[in-house]
A and B are shown apart, each in its own frame.
Chain A
């Protein structure tokens, strides 16, 4: 449905995209996961024919983004990261306007947007600028869908939206997927990755990996420990000072660390008997705890945890510096 081959884009000195290649299958929800400035928006703008790539070839719905840009514009729905509907027009007027510029009517494709639009229909005479963040998103999605696109491009649709609305929004995307719409969605939130069929981790214009969220998480090779104590900021510096600690990142209420100790690597775990390994890890945890307590940390809690997408991202991004 979407295909990119060796796409590169440079803005003066900044290499926004570097040799990007990927495929999105029809009916898939494909997530682009990466921090701000990773190149997500540039990739969206190339695929929605708003900018031209410096190198490479891209197609959407079998149409070349350079040659057939006019046809692509009729078939894709694009929801930019920033709310970009007319704030001085009402909900209804916005929807009507975008339907008419696509030479269609709201009635014609009402079925598709019904579930979403019904939630904001009570406010249809309200100006778009006066809507709440969640409602704005719903309106923007309705407007992007009103011409029945085959591919939907959503650039950070949940940034700045509350957790409840975010969940609701992903529910809507699943519904759209069932109606056969291919969705390319970008997000800086790693927790949303698991809701996609496949994800690409992107950083500094490069893809770190492309796979299903489960496989990306499984690819994490090292033992991961979460460490917490009373003074978290001192803990971070102290952990980083310990020579056995390979990496240490702050994750909300705990720090996630990987160790250099060869006995606790994934490979060894597979070779040796399971029991011995657990002892090894227990040993390491105890050692670490003692080391930290020697540095006056109190309430030190160390646990072995399952890696998430964010851990994978951190691990992979180390190699992409």
Chain B
């Protein structure tokens, strides 16, 4: 009964607050509309400099093939490697492709034909990927040449293996499809973690908690009154996110939405619980902010949001198990892209429930009306 009045008060305060309701709408909207486009690991428009020491029809054909791939922009043709290197130094070029003299001749005679790829790896990922793209195209070109010659000279064996890649669940390897579910959960974690923490610490700072503490309201009721509003807000945020994903990216979950809400309910509960635990230890909003940042950022990096968990060192892989975000991002990617169902993810669900119980139990125990 008292809970009802406490909740009424919370919602009234949220409504009164000019800033908060807007933030609740704007943050997920902007985050989802912007982040997946920005946080894009696809590398495009790589500036290429070619140093062609062969000047043959084959070398011209290969350069033609590379520039028509769409990934590379043929910026310059340099006379020698030194000038090409200078271009990289001036940041006019990202990759140098040097074709050795006698490239065509060697190819025709089935001798190894030399090609040098030299990449600017200040941005390691971009460098690595552009070099890989370039090698891929050149390999392709080499098989092409071989195939042509096979018709002329049947004694020679063709390339033994032909690889046909097929990308399941995300056929065009669109990076945003991987990112949208992850960013969605990151937003949910931030809002449902930060808001209750800041709310309680705010009441501490204003001194209003003191007035509440001398009332007969039990700490369980009080904590519930702080949890439930952010639970509701979590659902609103999630719904906004789904709408944005659909409107901007045309993404519709492959699995049931109801399942996602079920997982999200537990997830929000876990993160709000973490927020409450922090609010019990922090005395000022500043402290709470920093503690929350620490946990959220640690959880995000351990979650496999940006980099796959399996490529982490063993010990951080083990550590990633303590990040509730890891489970939830996996769940959402699985449901959203793969269409997994609840039973496929029952262990994830159990883990999330564990976090929810742990954090909220801790919150109730560490909350002291009497110090």
- Which residues of A are interface residues toward B (Cβ below 8 A)? 48-52, 69-70, 73-74, 76, 78, 80, 82-89, 93, 97-98, 100-103, 143
For the residues of B in contact with A, the DSSP-based class is: helix
Residues of B in contact (CB 8 Å), total: 24
The total of Cβ contacts below 8 Å across the A-B interface reads 69
With a cutoff of 8 Å between Cβ atoms, the chain B residues found around residue A51 in the complex are 370-371
With a cutoff of 8 Å between Cβ atoms, the chain B residues found around residue A97 in the complex are 5, 9
Q: A50-B370, A88-B13, A88-B17 are in contact. Are A73 and B211 (CB under 8 A)?
A: no
What CA separation (Å) do A83 and B213 show in the bound complex?
15
Q: A52-B370, A100-B2 are in contact. Are A89 and B16 (CB under 8 A)?
A: yes
B210 contacts A by Cβ under 8 Å: yes
Contact present for A83 and B217 (CB under 8 Å): no
Instruction: Find the residue from A78, A85, A100 having the highest chain B CB count within 10 A.
Output: A100
What CA separation (Å) do A52 and B368 show in the bound complex?
11
What CA separation (Å) do A88 and B10 show in the bound complex?
11
Contact present for A80 and B5 (CB under 8 Å): no
- Which residues of B are interface residues toward A (Cβ below 8 A)? 1-2, 5-6, 9, 12-13, 16-17, 206-217, 369-371
Contact present for B215 and A85 (CB under 8 Å): no
What CA separation (Å) do A148 and B131 show in the bound complex?
79
Q: A51-B370, A69-B370, A80-B207 are in contact. Are A86 and B9 (CB under 8 A)?
A: yes
Q: Top 7 A-B pairs ranked by shortest CB distance?
A: A84-B207, A100-B5, A78-B214, A84-B211, A82-B207, A101-B215, A88-B16
Contact present for A73 and B215 (CB under 8 Å): yes
B217, closest chain A residue (CB): A101
A51, closest chain B residue (CB): B371
A50, closest chain B residue (CB): B213
| Given A50-B210, A89-B16; 19 other pairs, CB 8 A cutoff | A48-B214, A49-B369, A52-B371, A78-B210, A78-B211, A80-B207, A84-B206, A84-B210, A86-B13, A87-B206, A93-B9, A97-B5, A100-B2, A101-B6, A101-B216, A102-B215, A102-B216, A103-B1, A103-B2
B6, closest chain A residue (CB): A101
With a cutoff of 8 Å between Cβ atoms, the chain A residues found around residue B371 in the complex are 50-52
With a cutoff of 8 Å between Cβ atoms, the chain A residues found around residue B210 in the complex are 50, 78, 80, 84
What CA separation (Å) do A82 and B209 show in the bound complex?
12
